[in-house]
Amino acid sequence: MQVQLPFSLLCLQVIKCKAAVLWEANKPFSIEEVEVAPPKANEVRIKVVATGICRSDDHVITGGLVMPFPIILGHEAAGIVESVGQGVTSVKPGDKVIPLFVPQCGECNSCLSSKGNLCSKNDIGSAAGLMPDGTTRFTCKGKAIHHFIGTSTFTEYTVVHESAVAKIDSAAPLEKVCLIGCGFSTGYGAAVQTAKVEPGSTCAVFGLGGVGLSVVMGCKAAGASRIIAVDINKDKFAKAKELGATDCVNPKDFKKPIHEVLIEMTGQGVDYSFEVIGRTDTMAAALACCQYNYGVSVIVGVPPAAQKITFDPMLLFTGRTWKGSVFGGWKSKDSVPKLVADYMKKKFVLDPLITHTLPFTKINEGFDLLRTGQ
């Protein structure tokens, strides 16, 4: 005789699956069997289908971004809802979704303001590594494993708060739109949302990884007439030009500081500059290369922990604007479905940002490719 369990009871089971656990800093990921607890009230359990590798994950490994260990990293992904906790209304099992490392609670000052997008429920600043209720949903070998900025996507299943997940088009290819979970949105939005690049303007982009290339795409979409791509790896120049860069500059080719080179190239500096590396020296150079009175410089790369920046205050006194951009300034839950819809309408491309597709078990090789600029 078969007994049919109601759906709510089926969802309460712990799932055992593979995850890439980082037990301590500066060590490789260890593929482990983990236990993923069922979602509590207002939580969503997701089967992760595809996840991208981002420099921010690597910053945790090297200690540049301080997080508690052991931890499951990953924050740029797409998947399918497996189950939901009580009170969840925005998604249901079977929905295609993108987890959001910047949540959107809809109630805090940033969510209610038209000027901001960094929801107070984010775990970027506090780095608690826990769900909003102060507990974790991951266990491995009897030990509690920390979450990473509310997403933790280097696992076959993860649990996120309902405010940190967006339902997307059911026809979207998850192995491509996962990039909208961080890299593409962060770079593209820094240009079109945060800086609000204007038609005919000149831009400089420092760093040509996936996020930097997305900034180039954003500057082009906004109508910039000149986009100067800056990187010490000349192998990245061809793709930058393919995506809209008009000039490519390698700081190693010059004896003088790069900001002086850019000022000479443009006459009086660029209208907009973007630092997409996460180094204090390039942040200062990006500020210095923009027009002295009305230039705007945007910090997009994650700043290294415990480092301070020193600069001449005259750079700001003359009128320059220096600002930061998290997740491209997008209000995540509202904007991610629209960005996916724009991708489906071919308003932008994602394929050039995907260099390699690897099985999950080769995650350490993926990070080697990231670190060697490939």
DSSP state of 155: B
Cα–Cα dist 297/274, whole Å = 6
pLDDT digits (tens, 9 = 90+) for 173-184: 999 999 999 999
pLDDT digits (tens, 9 = 90+) for 107-126: 999 999 999 999 999 988 77
Domains contained in the chain, CATH given: 186-328 (3.40.50.720)
Task: Give the chain's mean pLDDT.
Answer: 94
Which of 17, 59, 152, 185 is flagged as catalytic? 59
Tokens 């040509």: give the residue. 208
Q: Is the pLDDT of residue 305 over 80?
A: no
Which of 105, 111, 178, 182 is flagged as catalytic? 182
Known active-site residue 113: no
Known active-site residue 90: no
Q: Which of 155, 178, 183, 153 is nearest to 168 (CA)?
A: 178
Residue type, 324: G
β-partners of residue 273 are 204, 297
Q: Is the pLDDT of residue 50 over 70?
A: yes
Known active-site residue 182: yes
Residues 6+ apart with CB under 8 A from 114: none
CB atoms within 10 A of CB 9: 8
Q: Which of 339, 299, 21 is nearest to 181 (CA)?
A: 339
The distance of Cα 123 from the centroid of its chain, to the nearest Å, equals 14
- The answer to whether the beta carbons of residues 216 and 240 sit under 8 Å apart is yes
Give me the pLDDT at residue 2, please. 54
- Which token pair is 20? 């890439």
Which of 56, 83, 201, 335 is flagged as catalytic? 56
Known active-site residue 59: yes
CB atoms within 10 A of CB 16: 12
pTM exceeds 0.85, yes or no: yes
Cα–Cα dist 123/341, whole Å = 27
Which of 54, 119, 203, 219 is flagged as catalytic? 54
Bridge-based pairing state of the strands 247-249 and 226-230: parallel
